[in-house]
Structure 1
Amino acid sequence: MNNPYFKYVFSLLLFGSNGIMASLILLSSYEVVFWRTLIGSLFLLALFLMSGGKFKAIHHKKHWVYALISGAALGISWIFLFEAYSEIGVSVASLAYYCGPVLVIAISPFLFNERLTAARLAGLGAVMLGMLFVNGLGLLTNGLSWGLFCGLSSAVMYAVMIVFNKKASQVTGLENALYQLVMSFITVALYTFFRQGAPSLSVTEYLLPILIFGLVNTAVGCFLYFAAIDHLSAGSVSIIGYLEPLSALVFSAVFLHEQLTELQVIGAVLILSGAAFSELYREKPRVPVGHAV
């Protein structure tokens, strides 16, 4: 559990099951996000206080502000993503959403001085091709729509969240996850009250799935996620992040009995192999001329 890669992958698997959990809660997309962030925030706050945590980030005001911006971006991203789920379905929404990592990789050399190696570019290319195989038909069928706009908007906010979270290098671990979720909740709460007023009280009909969604998928998932990306490069976060839509596809097939086409299977293989290659392959350092190997 101390390995950041393990934490990150496990959090992605939890996030990959979000579609299944959301299907059990017959509320509007923003209400689902409202309740999951509220429960997740309360749980992480209680855990933080019981563990004797101290709010150290306030001594690094610039990094603290970065963390708050990152959390707000996360909340907005979830609003757009869940709206896209309801409009165009999980597969097409996931394809649009995961344009976000491409944006992060594209700007990481300018913001984080990370070099785009040939292996990373090749792995990213395989991942993107795999995503097209998995979801491209749905994208071509639906074209540009409100749902697709929401999906692409969630991708932009995903990129904003990653960038500002990386900049908030002095805000780490449980404290970071707490700021992210609390700020996400505040953002979603403001949107919910603006959209419809007080949230629906019919939440009691879906109490168990909402509690699981808030405590496990959101609180535990976010804690592991933000604890992991503190120790990973922006490129690694972006490329391995494609395991989330892949796991969502697999979970949908297993639990919702959705059929995988041959093209989707090929896409899944490309995603896994591309992500693995980009992480495991390392270029050998060049030896200067005249030096022995």
Structure 2
Amino acid sequence: MLHNPYARFAFSMLIFGSNGIVASHIPLSSYEIVLCRTVLGGSCLLLFALWQHELGQLLHQGRRILWLLIAGLALAGNWLFLYEAYQQVGVSLATLLCYAGPILVMILSRFVFGEAFTVPRVAGIVLVTLGMVCINGVDFQAHGLSWGMACGFLSATCFAILVISVKKVQGLSGLVSSAAQLLIASVVVAIVNLSAPVPDIHLSLPAIGWICLLGFINTGFACCLYFTCIQALSAQTVSICGYIEPLSALAFSAIFLGETLTLLQWLGAVLVLGGVGVAELRGHRIHVQRN
């Protein structure tokens, strides 16, 4: 089955959609979870890139290597804020908040690359904005901007910076770019962890197993699947099948974590995912390292 690029891509999206569920079983802070994921996943991708003899591409980047460094910083921020949002507001809401990232990319692209605002893009921005109001409006009115909500928005912002930075880097395969981003991010996350207080933690064998699953399978293996099949698929196929990730994240969080959304929040979820879909399916899809 996994010889079929469609099956490989769909399977990788399902794996990515389970990230929040796997992380919920790891008794570490969000910073420590991200450190484990970047180190283990980055090591996997580095070994795979060495096996494919692709690392030499980095020697031809010149000044553009700065954009790769920025991408690594943005990836670190994207994951740090996302996993903190997982712990603060749950997998469902964190996933939906982060999915505002593609819309932020479209807005920033207007000023960074001079890309015009098309009717589908404007419609997508409006739909996502309405969806965010439905998802967070009641809580925001009652309690103000919570730290979990802020982390979700910051994760989306870092995602947008990540996409812009990756677009500035040319001549790198997705595999090499992702390996470099993960290893750069691991250094940043390690520094963040060193500056934070470290409680005494005794990891059980099951917890270590979940950490290995997140790093090796949900990051290393899934990214290898993603980048080895993506070139064989059309942009429209990638755009449509990409929605397996957030939809599976919502389903997994409901089944395994018992998280539920209100009717208004479900309406917001439809608006957010639909808005991104309207904007992306009629535009150009940018392929970057997945969250």
Corresponding residue number in structure 2 for 1:182: 183
Provide the rounded CA distance (Å) in 1 between the counterparts of 2:175 and 2:202: 30
Structure 1 unpaired stretches of 5+: 283-293
**Which of 106-115 and 189-198 deviates more?**
189-198
Q: Give yes or no for contact 1:127–1:271 (8 Å, CA) kept in 2.
A: yes
* 3-state SS in 2 of match to 1:144: coil
Pick closer, same or farther for the CA change 1:101–1:6 going to 2, 3 Å: farther
Q: Give yes or no for contact 1:48–1:175 (8 Å, CA) kept in 2.
A: yes
Corresponding residue number in structure 1 for 2:114: 113
Q: Give yes or no for contact 2:90–2:259 (8 Å, CA) kept in 1.
A: no
Q: Give yes or no for contact 1:67–1:180 (8 Å, CA) kept in 2.
A: yes
Corresponding residue number in structure 2 for 1:147: 148
Could you list the per-position Cα deviations for residues 38-59 of structure 1 after superposition, in whole angstroms to 9, with x for gaps in the alignment?
Answer: 1111111222222333321221
**Which of 80-89 and 165-174 deviates more?**
80-89
Aligned-residue offset at 1:176: 0.9
Corresponding residue number in structure 2 for 1:39: 40
Corresponding residue number in structure 2 for 1:81: 82
Pick closer, same or farther for the CA change 1:225–1:158 going to 2, 3 Å: farther
Which residues in structure 2 correspond to 1:25-64 (within 5 Å)? Answer: 25-64=26-65
Q: Give yes or no for contact 2:71–2:181 (8 Å, CA) kept in 1.
A: yes
**Amino acid corresponding to residue 184 of structure 1 in structure 2:** A
Aligned-residue offset at 1:151: 2.9
* 3-state SS in 2 of match to 1:27: coil
* 3-state SS in 2 of match to 1:56: helix
TM-score (norm: length of structure 2):
0.78
**Which of 194-203 and 149-158 deviates more?**
194-203
TM-score (norm: length of structure 1):
0.78
Provide the rounded CA distance (Å) in 2 between the counterparts of 1:87 and 1:130: 20
Q: Give yes or no for contact 1:193–1:199 (8 Å, CA) kept in 2.
A: no
Which residues in structure 2 correspond to 1:1-293 (within 5 Å)? Answer: 11-196=12-197, 202=203, 204-223=205-224, 228=230, 244-280=245-281
Q: Give yes or no for contact 2:130–2:268 (8 Å, CA) kept in 1.
A: yes
Provide the rounded CA distance (Å) in 2 between the counterparts of 1:226 and 1:193: 32
Provide the rounded CA distance (Å) in 2 between the counterparts of 1:110 and 1:2: 41
Q: Give yes or no for contact 1:30–1:79 (8 Å, CA) kept in 2.
A: yes
Corresponding residue number in structure 2 for 1:288: none
Pick closer, same or farther for the CA change 1:98–1:238 going to 2, 3 Å: farther
**Amino acid corresponding to residue 64 of structure 1 in structure 2:** I
Q: Give yes or no for contact 1:133–1:267 (8 Å, CA) kept in 2.
A: yes
Could you list the per-position Cα deviations for residues 74-121 of structure 1 after superposition, in whole angstroms to 9, with x for gaps in the alignment?
Answer: 012211222232233334434543443332111112223332210222
Pick closer, same or farther for the CA change 1:277–1:10 going to 2, 3 Å: farther
Pick closer, same or farther for the CA change 1:212–1:173 going to 2, 3 Å: same
**Amino acid corresponding to residue 84 of structure 2 in structure 1:** E
Could you list the per-position Cα deviations for residues 133-186 of structure 1 after superposition, in whole angstroms to 9, with x for gaps in the alignment?
Answer: 344444444422333333333232222111101111222221111101111111
Aligned-residue offset at 1:270: 3.3
Aligned-residue offset at 1:197: 5.9
* 3-state SS in 2 of match to 1:166: helix
Provide the rounded CA distance (Å) in 2 between the counterparts of 1:100 and 1:118: 19
Pick closer, same or farther for the CA change 1:11–1:107 going to 2, 3 Å: farther
Pick closer, same or farther for the CA change 1:215–1:151 going to 2, 3 Å: same
Q: Give yes or no for contact 1:37–1:182 (8 Å, CA) kept in 2.
A: yes
**Amino acid corresponding to residue 45 of structure 2 in structure 1:** L
C-alpha RMSD of matched pairs (Å): 3.6
Pick closer, same or farther for the CA change 1:160–1:9 going to 2, 3 Å: farther
Q: Give yes or no for contact 1:70–1:180 (8 Å, CA) kept in 2.
A: yes
Aligned-residue offset at 1:241: 6.9
Provide the rounded CA distance (Å) in 2 between the counterparts of 1:196 and 1:50: 38
